[in-house]
Structure 1
């Protein structure tokens, strides 16, 4: 990861009122996964496997 770049994280929020209370809500958050690290790791592993078996 480059420290100079700023990434915008997309989030899904689900806001539900709490039953039996006044103006109280539960916030359920699901963060979108960043796959760039896994793709990089897969490419490095593939290159090492090709180099090992040839």
Structure 2
């Protein structure tokens, strides 16, 4: 097990204490978007549009 290397998490976790409570926390998770699939889809649609109009 290698403990020196940390991998970046695809999720951003925000921990906030809940007001007027004892040892209670609210955990909000936000995922980073992966735009690579959308870029490939846009390129493919562009190629199809060029092929259709020529």
RMSD: 1.4
Residue 36 of structure 2: aligned partner = 36
Q: Could you tell me how far apart the structure 2 residues matched to 1:35 and 1:11 are?
A: 15
Count of aligned pairs between the two proteins: 47
TM-score normalised per structure 2: 0.76
Cα shift at 1:9: 4.6
TM-score normalised per structure 1: 0.76
Listed as ranges, the gaps of 5+ residues in structure 2 are 1-7
Listed as ranges, the gaps of 5+ residues in structure 1 are 1-7
Structure 1 segments of 4+ aligned residues over 6 angstroms from their partners:
none
Residue 49 of structure 1: aligned partner = 49
